[in-house]
Amino acid sequence: MGMVDYNRLDVGDGSPGLEVVFSVDDVRAFLKVAGDSIKVEAYFTDAAAAERDGFGSKPVVPGRMGFGYLERAVLDWMPEARLEKLDVVYRSPTFVDTKHVGKAVITDKVERGGDIRFELDVHMESEDGTRPYRGAAVVVIPRT
Amino acid sequence: MAERSYTGAELEPQFDRSKLGKVLAEADVEITDEAALRYARTVGETNPRFSRPGPGLEVMPGMLIILDRPMDRVPVTFPFGKLAFPGGNTLEAYDLVRPGDILHIAVRLTEVYVKTGRAGPMGFVVHEKEYVRRRDGKLVARSKDTYLTRP
């Protein structure tokens, strides 16, 4: 993990992008960790169920799992950041065995008392260029 | 094809309004090292802050939104509704959470409303949770969980 010069980051700068292809096994592992907090639908792991429920031919990735990856996309870019807020809207489903890229772009930067506070737009982008998850984040880089 | 129009009654959500804003359920959840590490692994996190066992280990804030256990939800029915699905999550984190922390989680139904656009009506049900650390009584996080219903 390389050092990031947060003083040089500014509005308009974007993260390199976190590429991910969710597998059914990844989804199963996440559902196990999530326990009872997520209603386990058959379409999360079963392609036939996804098709029957009108999602197409691939199982659906739980939204909260995508939320976790967007969090990671931010924290991989800014490893010292303290995440203050992450707000994600699930506009359409994401699917397993499909490449997605989690990205963040700085929309505001405020320096106060040595801390740097960034506001970010975040999104998950699919291979076809659509953005099934969109949202915003606030992170603070504490003064060291 | 003519767009289907909906009458006032069809747009009126059906639910127990006395529950709005009230605490529906509460639970104490202890965050273990194992759970924090397992969550980090499932989202592929390798940042040592979240993945290296030891006294400095931090809990990824996103983990909080899957801590709610089977807590009560107020059943809400929208007469026009056929499809229901998660619409989004919001997390506000006010302090670091570390393994060993016991969080008192309380869930409330905070909003139920309908918006109508070109695609027809959409019903929104929002539950909010507060996470208070038992050790010092500090509110460490708040989250929102939005569920959508469409015709």
A35 has a chain B CB within 8 A of its CB: yes
Contacts for A62 with CB less than 8 Å, ≥ 6 apart: A27, A30, A31, A34, A38, A44, B86
Residue B39 in any domain: the answer is no
User: Between residues 85 and 144 of chain A, which touch chain B (CB distance below 8 Å)?
Assistant: 85-90, 93, 135
Residue A12 in any domain: the answer is no
Q: Which domain holds residue A32?
A: 18-141
The verdict on a CB contact (< 8 Å) between B45 and A135 is no
Closest CA–CA distance from residue A1 to any residue of chain B (Å): 8
Q: Are B102 and B28 in contact (CB under 8 A)?
A: yes
Residue A8 in any domain: the answer is no
| Across A94-103, B77-86, B138-147, least confident range | B77-86
Name the average pLDDT for chain B.
91
pLDDT band at B83 (very low <50, low <70, confident <90, very high): confident
Minimum-distance CB partner of A64 among B38, B41, B89: B89
| Burial status of residue A119 (CB atoms within 10 A of its CB: 0-12, 13-18, 19 or more) | middle
Rg of chain A in Å (alpha carbons): 17
Residue B49 in any domain: the answer is no
Short-list A15, A32, A115, CA closest to A72:
A15
CA–CA distance, A12 with A71 (Å, rounded to integer): 19
Q: What is the CATH number of the domain that holds A122?
A: 3.10.129.10
Residue B143 in any domain: the answer is yes
Nearest CA in chain A to B73: A37
- At CB < 8 Å, which residues of chain B contact A? 35, 38-39, 41-47, 49-50, 60-63, 65-70, 85-94, 96
Residue A3 in any domain: the answer is no
Residue B52 in any domain: the answer is no
Residue A5 in any domain: the answer is no
Residue A51 in any domain: the answer is yes
Q: Which domain holds residue B129?
A: 9-31+59-150
What is the per-residue pLDDT for A79?
A: 95
Q: What is the CATH number of the domain that holds B109?
A: 3.10.129.10
Report pLDDT digits (tens) over B60-73. 999 999 886 656 78
Residue A74's SS3 state is: helix
What is the per-residue pLDDT for A20?
A: 92
**Averaged in consecutive runs of 10 residues, what is the pLDDT profile of chain A (144 residues)?**
84 96 89 75 86 86 92 96 97 90 97 94 93 97 82
Residue B69 in any domain: the answer is yes
The verdict on a CB contact (< 8 Å) between A33 and B42 is yes
CA–CA distance, A21 with A100 (Å, rounded to integer): 6
| Across A47-51, B107-111, B142-146, least confident range | A47-51
Number of independent structural domains in chain B = 1
Q: Determine the average pLDDT of the residues in B15-23.
A: 94
CA–CA distance, B147 with B84 (Å, rounded to integer): 7
Report pLDDT digits (tens) over B20-63. 999 999 989 999 999 999 999 999 999 999 999 999 999 999 99
Contacts for A57 with CB less than 8 Å, ≥ 6 apart: A47, A50, A51
Residue B91 in any domain: the answer is yes
Rg of chain B in Å (alpha carbons): 19
A46 has a chain B CB within 8 A of its CB: no
The verdict on a CB contact (< 8 Å) between B44 and A20 is yes
Residue B38 in any domain: the answer is no
Closest CA–CA distance from residue A12 to any residue of chain B (Å): 23
**Beta pairing, strands A82-90 & A99-112:** unpaired
Q: Which residue has the higher pLDDT, B129 or B2?
A: B129
Name chain A contacts of B94, Cβ cutoff 8 Å: 84
Number of independent structural domains in chain A = 1
Short-list B112, B138, B139, B146, CA closest to B21:
B112
- If one counts every other C-beta atom within 10 angstroms of the C-beta of residue B104, the result is 15
Residue A69 in any domain: the answer is yes
The verdict on a CB contact (< 8 Å) between B47 and A67 is no
Please give the structure tokens belonging to residue A67: 């939320």
pLDDT band at B3 (very low <50, low <70, confident <90, very high): low
**Torsion sign across C-alpha atoms A40, A41, A42, A45:** negative
ipTM exceeding cut-off 0.90 for this assembly: yes
What is the per-residue pLDDT for A56?
A: 84
What is the per-residue pLDDT for A37?
A: 67
> What's the one-letter identity of residue B68?
D
The CA dihedral of B26, B31, B32, B35, to the nearest 10 degrees, is 90
Please give the structure tokens belonging to residue A32: 């196990």
* Predicted TM-score of the model (pTM): 0.92
Name chain A contacts of B85, Cβ cutoff 8 Å: 90, 93
The verdict on a CB contact (< 8 Å) between B92 and A36 is no
For tokens 């997605």, the residue is A100
Report pLDDT digits (tens) over B89-99. 999 999 999 99
What is the per-residue pLDDT for B117?
A: 84
Does the pLDDT of residue B79 top 60, yes or no?
yes
What is the per-residue pLDDT for A143?
A: 78
Residue A10 in any domain: the answer is no
Name chain B contacts of A65, Cβ cutoff 8 Å: 42-43
Closest CA–CA distance from residue A10 to any residue of chain B (Å): 23
What is the per-residue pLDDT for B72?
A: 72
